[in-house]
Amino acid sequence: MNKISIHGEWSSKMAFILAATGSAVGLGNIWKFPYMAGQYGGGAFVIAYLLCIIILCLPVMMAEVMLGKRGRCSPINTMRNLVRETSQSKLWVLLGWSGALAGFLILSYYSVIAGWAMAYVPTLATGTFTEINNIPASEINDFVDSIFNSLIENPIELISWHTVFIIITMIMVAGGVKGGLEKAVNFMMPALFIVLLVLVGYAMSTPNFSEGFYFMFNFNFNDLLYLNCTETSCELSGEGLLAAMGQAFFSLSLGMGSIMVYGAYLPKDASVSKVTTAVVLADTLVAILAGLIIFPIVFSNGLEPGAGVGLVFKTLPIAFGQMPFGTLFGTLFFILLVLAALSSSISLVEPAVAWLIETGKFNRISASVTSGLLVWLAGLITVFSFNIWSEIKPLAGLNLFELLDYLTSNIMLPLGGLLIAIFVGWLMKKTVVAEELNSSIDSFIYYIWYFLLRYITPLGVGIVFLNAIGIFS
């Protein structure tokens, strides 16, 4: 199986690292990670997240890239090729299908949230938040709240931004591996990083930086052992641990084929362990920086860390309204956030687009248009769940958007990761795996990775799942 993918190939290892980092770094790091950490009590969530990244996700990421590199197709056909090669049950192809479905569902809501970030670009550019300097401190929260709420309560505005975002995503995907995907991330990642550092600098100058820092990093291991949320202190519940694991998979774009399909475009001689470690480090750093920016602002302005999905959209504008050159930095920040979301969204739909092309009935353009239309339609569910359907809560008190997010992040992605670990760790030939990783079977890194993948990842994911449904309590 040495052929090159029919979709093309990255021009270098660096291009893969940038693209995979582009996929990983996105709304998950800057929008989702801080609000989840805020909702699940700070330090305990952060440590659980970091442990999941190192113990569960890093091994899965290497395995997922390796699968793609071996199969050289869309995840569905990659799995088909590998099932043939390993003489395993055809049911394994379902892994590819569930990945494509998860990508489709995630993009449907991801695009709506990215639309919020787009809507904030003109709001910041026109200096709306500098008004904060003219109102009493006690009214600042209401002011930022009202701007956010008037956006999400307006379905027409949300649909408009969602439409724009999907159109741009599909134009980029239609451009193909080298033409569209690669170019976009080249300048974006470094720029985003610089703006984040500037904002960390600002956060450090706020009066409550240490409180924000403490909130994020203060944990004790009991939090992880007791896994309980009480009235007075929020130790991490089983649900919280599941959320931390789901967030780790979501943030690294794992368990649904995005990273697999990017691996399919990787040059044969690339070292999988090095490229994946680089991606994991960059992604984790961005999430931590986002937390270090947001929580000091939260505490310095008496906001609620558990404010939920609006957290970033309410806290950062306060900073931008008050800091020197805030209008400029604020505008730049939201532009970069949109770009970061774009480099993730293209990877969310690439598995489906690549598969459509492989059926022979579509070219890249018609495949992109078809997927775009379907995702756009599905996105309306999320749009309405913030306004006219906000009272529809079909399950466990979750509205439709929350349900989609829960189903994909907390269940589909970790389950995908678990199956990837089992397939690579138990069903593929050791020599084939080592060959694709460009590593020798008896190297130390290979040994550790293989051990984690075979035993620890399946056990870890399994325990978190069982714990969340209350088996251990």
Question: Which residues are near ligand PFF by CB under 6 A?
Answer: 23-24, 26-29, 103, 106, 250-251, 253, 256, 258, 344, 347-348
Alpha-carbon gap, residue 412 to 414, rounded angstroms: 6
Give yes or no for a contact between 470 and 238, defined as CB atoms under 8 angstroms apart: yes
Q: Select 39 or 347, whichever has its Cβ closest to ligand PFF.
A: 347
* Strand (E) or helix (H) holding 183: helix 183-205
Shortest Å distance, C-beta 87 to ligand PFF:
29
Going by C-beta distance under 8 Å and a sequence separation of 6 or more, which residues neighbour residue 339?
184, 188, 192
Shortest Å distance, C-beta 103 to ligand PFF:
6
Going by C-beta distance under 8 Å and a sequence separation of 6 or more, which residues neighbour residue 77?
71, 96, 355, 358
Q: Select 128 or 371, whichever has its Cβ closest to ligand PFF.
A: 371
Residue given tokens 């492989």 in the structure block: 358
Q: Select 292 or 338, whichever has its Cβ closest to ligand PFF.
A: 338
Alpha-carbon gap, residue 28 to 344, rounded angstroms: 9
Shortest Å distance, C-beta 141 to ligand PFF:
27
Q: Which amino acid is at 259?
A: I
Shortest Å distance, C-beta 452 to ligand PFF:
21
Q: Give which of 186, 209, 141, 121 is closest to 343, Cα–Cα.
A: 186
Phi, psi of 229 (to 5 degrees): -110, 115
Pull the structure tokens for residue 93.
């192809």
Shortest Å distance, C-beta 99 to ligand PFF:
8
Shortest Å distance, C-beta 257 to ligand PFF:
7
Q: Which residue, judged by CB position, is nearest to ligand PFF in the bound state?
A: 28
Shortest Å distance, C-beta 29 to ligand PFF:
5
Going by C-beta distance under 8 Å and a sequence separation of 6 or more, which residues neighbour residue 113?
27, 31, 309, 341
Give yes or no for a contact between 259 and 75, defined as CB atoms under 8 angstroms apart: no
Q: Select 245 or 348, whichever has its Cβ closest to ligand PFF.
A: 348
Q: Select 15 or 287, whichever has its Cβ closest to ligand PFF.
A: 287
Q: Select 56 or 348, whichever has its Cβ closest to ligand PFF.
A: 348
Give yes or no for a contact between 205 and 38, defined as CB atoms under 8 angstroms apart: no
Q: Select 24 or 266, whichever has its Cβ closest to ligand PFF.
A: 24
